[in-house]
């Protein structure tokens, strides 16, 4: 290929990435649920007619993007080509064919140019409610966790399936938010389609085959170069988490071969009877994300970059099979990067960050007026982040969602959705593990219902009994705490009640430290004290 041809292809590749970024921003701007419009719990991407991912939006979370890459193939298997039409939009929330639990809605839309299928657009978002028991770990099977939508048409030839809309409204607690998000997802794909067709007409393309070949070829060459530079061998790691009512062990073996990297979850504990199980599609997504961060963080994600990673597992809590309850699959999914990176740290000493809080501290609040009074009922979902692990040459980031990448919701947006007050939301001093480089701080959040209201909440927390480990001599982060303002200890998982007048206090865990604490500079400790990150006498 000539230099001019190479430059032209690179420009088109970047243009395609900008198309899917605008697709994602459309969802961010039009979504009803705070989990999407404020936290960015979404993903968007474009795929070729064979279902291979060409590009993904930078905006979004890796657990959705990498699962969506497989989900598109499931849609293609269920809906034959001859039954696809311009103006179609397909939908599912199947945990094993979508993105891991019922709260994530995945939509796929075919894109036609002059009557020919040229691409698929796909997007995913977390909605506030899907009926059933609500967002929590208490279901004993997926059937208790909410309404299940098999792969089907949300719209055909531009006409929305209103029967599906009516079924949704009858089965969820926040029908306006949920249905609004469905329309936002459909609009997201439509914007991607329009921008793609505009691009193809402007450049004079009739298909994306040539561009796809260029993207995959350049990606394969770059990935092979990175993998060839890695040490070869197999390394194992174990990570113990809180579980629901007993600890859960996660295990992984990472094997670097000549031309690919394998992850095997053999040795992980069996499936749980609680809703903390994780379908392999989600475990695989976060394993691939961890590998990508370490091997080739600067290479754009597409089908070719993900093809160099293989993930396998017997049936266990990281490869849960139907009808296991999976509502809180994110807890162990978010622990997978620490598990995989811990194994890689043995192959790449001095290159891997310490463990962090890992799983988001999500809380679902069901607020209502106290008996005998009038008031507002509401379902409120908050995403909260603990501290990241310290890095080999830098302190860990505080209150940062790694690996999920979602944003913490603003207090004002959260309070607007229901009758609750966030009395306090601040960094938690002394929560980062000590080391040459300090672990990121967790945060303290204090929540209460407004006057005349009470609330139940679904706790989805970990690292309460098993804090994040440090690395290379760094100290562990401080464990999380769940309690009421009167000192009553609350459980880290499950539905619980907060009576009127009481406040719920969440103290989120900190990240582990990196390196010998005696090597931390005097200036760094003085800076920590001046900013209130550590106590004056530390």
Give yes or no for a contact between 448 and 421, defined as CB atoms under 8 angstroms apart.
Answer: yes
DSSP state letters, 191-227: HHHHHHHHHHHHHT-S-SHHHHHHHHHHHHHHHHHHH
CA distance 464 to 486: 19
Quick one: 461 exposed, middle or buried, by C-beta within 10 A (0-12, 13-18, 19+)? buried
Q: Can you read off the two tokens belonging to residue 316?
A: 């266990």
pLDDT tens track, the chain, 538 positions: 666 788 899 999 999 999 999 999 999 999 998 888 888 888 999 999 999 999 998 888 876 767 888 899 999 999 999 999 999 999 999 999 999 999 999 999 999 999 999 999 999 999 999 999 989 999 999 999 999 999 999 999 999 999 999 999 999 999 999 999 999 999 999 999 999 999 999 999 999 999 999 999 999 999 999 999 999 999 999 999 999 999 999 999 999 999 999 999 999 999 999 999 999 999 999 999 999 999 999 999 999 999 999 999 999 999 999 999 999 999 999 999 999 999 999 999 999 999 999 999 999 999 999 988 888 899 999 999 999 999 999 999 999 999 988 888 889 989 999 999 999 999 999 999 999 999 999 999 999 999 999 999 999 999 999 999 999 999 999 999 999 999 999 999 999 999 999 999 999 999 999 999 999 999 999 999 999 999 977 6
DSSP state letters, 277-341: ---HHHHHHHHHHHHHHHH-TTSPPSHHHHTTEEEE--SSTTS--TT---TTHHHHHTTHHHHHH
Q: Can you read off the two tokens belonging to residue 14?
A: 């970047």
Q: Can you read off the two tokens belonging to residue 481?
A: 């705490």
Domain locations in the chain?
Answer: 3-219, 353-538
Residue entry with tokens 């303290």: 444
| Sign for the pseudo-dihedral over CA of 309, 315, 317, 320 | positive
Closest CA to 178 of 381, 430, 319, 329: 381
């Amino acid at each position: 290929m000539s230099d001019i041809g190479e430059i032209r292809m690179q420009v088109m590749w970047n243009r395609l990435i900008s198309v899917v970024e605008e697709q994602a921003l459309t969802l961010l701007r039009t979504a009803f649920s705070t989990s999407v419009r404020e936290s960015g719990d979404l993903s968007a991407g474009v795929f070729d007619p064979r279902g291979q991912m060409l590009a993904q939006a930078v905006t979004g979370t890796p657990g959705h993007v990498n699962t969506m890459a497989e989900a598109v193939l499931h849609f293609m298997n269920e809906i034959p080509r001859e039954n696809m039409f311009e103006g179609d939009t397909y939908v599912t929330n199947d945990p094993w064919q979508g993105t891991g639990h019922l709260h994530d809605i995945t939509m796929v839309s075919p894109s036609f140019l002059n009557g020919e299928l040229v691409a698929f657009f796909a997007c995913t978002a977390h909605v506030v409610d899907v009926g059933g028991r609500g967002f929590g770990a208490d279901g004993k099977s997926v059937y208790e966790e909410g309404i299940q939508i098999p792969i089907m048409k949300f719209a055909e030839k531009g006409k929305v399936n209103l029967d599906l809309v009516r079924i949704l409204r009858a089965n969820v607690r926040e029908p306006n938010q949920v249905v609004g998000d469905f329309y936002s997802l459909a609009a997201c794909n439509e914007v991607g389609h329009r921008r793609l067709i505009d691009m193809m007409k402007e450049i004079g393309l009739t298909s994306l085959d040539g561009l796809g070949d260029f993207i995959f070829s350049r990606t394969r060459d770059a990935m092979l170069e990175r993998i060839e530079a890695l040490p070869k061998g197999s390394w194992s790691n174990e990570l113990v988490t809180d579980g629901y009512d007993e600890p859960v062990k996660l295990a992984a073996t990472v094997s670097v071969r000549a031309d690919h990297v394998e992850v095997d979850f053999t040795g992980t504990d069996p499936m749980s009877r609680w809703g903390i199980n994780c379908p392999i599609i989600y475990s695989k997504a976060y394993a691939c994300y961890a590998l990508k961060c370490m091997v080739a963080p600067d290479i754009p994600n597409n089908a070719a970059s993900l093809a160099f990673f293989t993930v396998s597992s017997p049936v266990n809590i990281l490869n849960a099979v139907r009808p296991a309850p999976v509502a809180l699959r994110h807890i162990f999914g978010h622990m997978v990067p620490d598990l995989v990176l811990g194994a890689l740290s043995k192959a790449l000493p001095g290159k891997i960050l310490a463990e962090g809080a890992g799983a988001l501290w999500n809380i679902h609040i069901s607020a209502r007026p106290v008996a005998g009074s009038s008031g507002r009922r509401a379902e409120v979902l908050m995403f909260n982040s603990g501290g990241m692990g310290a890095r080999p040459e830098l302190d860990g980031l505080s209150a940062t969602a790694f690996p999920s990448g979602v944003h913490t919701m603003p207090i004002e947006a959260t309070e607007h959705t229901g009758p609750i007050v966030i009395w306090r939301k601040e960094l938690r001093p002394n929560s980062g593990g000590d080391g040459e480089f300090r672990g990121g701080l967790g945060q303290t959040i204090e929540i209460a219902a407004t006057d005349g209201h009470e609330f139940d909440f679904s706790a989805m927390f970990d690292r309460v009994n098993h804090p994040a480990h440090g690395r290379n001599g760094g100290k562990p982060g401080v464990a999380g705490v769940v309690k009421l303002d009167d000192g009553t200890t609350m459980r880290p998982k499950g539905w619980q009640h907060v009576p009127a007048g009481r406040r719920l206090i969440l103290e989120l865990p900190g990240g582990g430290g990196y390196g010998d604490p005696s090597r931390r500079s005097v200036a760094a400790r003085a800076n920590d004290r001046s900013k209130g990150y550590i106590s004056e006498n530390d």
